[in-house]
Structures are given as structure tokens and as C-alpha cells.
Amino acid sequence: MQQININTSFTVFESVNELPQDIQALMEQAVAIRKKAYAPYSKFRVGAALLLDNGQTVLGSNQENAAYPSGLCAERVAIFQSGAIYPEAKILKMAISAASDTNETKSPIPPCGACRQSIYEYEFKQDADIEIYFMGESGAIYKSDSIKNLLPLSFDKNFL
């Protein structure tokens, strides 16, 4: 028997003001679209903003449905929209902000498992890392240089 250790690394910014200017702007867009999320059931709103290599920004917010699990997370809304509108563009950076209508979220909130897999699929497809910045409503922001930090044992088409 052997043991495998997997290490991940994140950069921590104590506030939005510490972020590089372009990421501040991207996070502001994630916060703005988060406020437009359709979340009548969970009361948990998420916004995602993607910066593409063609200079375009694509936004997404979570969209819930009474026929659970028919809704879709903000990250996947944004990723799938970018794939539909700009299929040849690479995603360079992603900013995510999450907030609850019932309590303040002060800790960085990462993408769920389904979103991690979707982000991985696009990172694999474009053969280039996606920088991911995520935060709650306020407080620290975590930066991951790649989805591989959040999903170190990834499943891709090579297993099929």
C-alpha cells in the first residue's frame, strides 16, 4: 500500500481592493449579476463573470426552478453561454461571488462539484488554465490558478 498526497495552493486577497484592477472590475460584474439571480427557493444568489481571450466578458447568475434540480448554477450559465456565443474563445479568468438572503456570507464560496467538472471540461478543451477568483458577499477572495486546485482528481474524455 502507498499513500498519495495531493497539495493545492491558493492566493488569498483580504478584500476586493487588493485585487488587480482588471479582476476588481470582473468581480464587480459578478456581484452585480449575482443580485439579479433567480433564487426564490434557496435564497442563495451566485454571480459569475468570465473574461475571454477575445476581450469579451460573459456573465451568469444562478437560475432555480421549482422542479428541482432543473435549475442551473451561475458558473455553468456563464460557461455554457460563452461556449454558445464564442465557441472559439478561451476563458482566461472567472470571478464568482455568492451571497445568502438570510445570512451574511463572509467566507470564500467555491464552485459546487458539477460546476467544477464543467469548468474542468472547458479548461481541458481549450488546453489552457482558467484563473478562478471566488468570494462570499464580503471578506477574503481566493484565487486558484486552475480548476485543478479545486478538482485535483479530474474525470475527462481520456477515461471514456
- The catalytic site residues sit at 75
Contacts of 77 (CB under 8 A, 6+ apart): 48, 60, 61, 62, 63
Question: How far does Cα 55 stand from its chain's mean position?
Answer: 18
User: Degrees (nearest 5) of the Cα angle 87, 77, 103?
Assistant: 150
Measured CA distances, 23 to 71, 132, 160 (Å): 28, 10, 36
DSSP strand pairing (57-61 vs 141-144)? unpaired
Contacts of 64 (CB under 8 A, 6+ apart): 38, 39, 40, 41, 42, 71
List the beta strands (DSSP E) in 63-158: 91-100, 131-135, 141-144
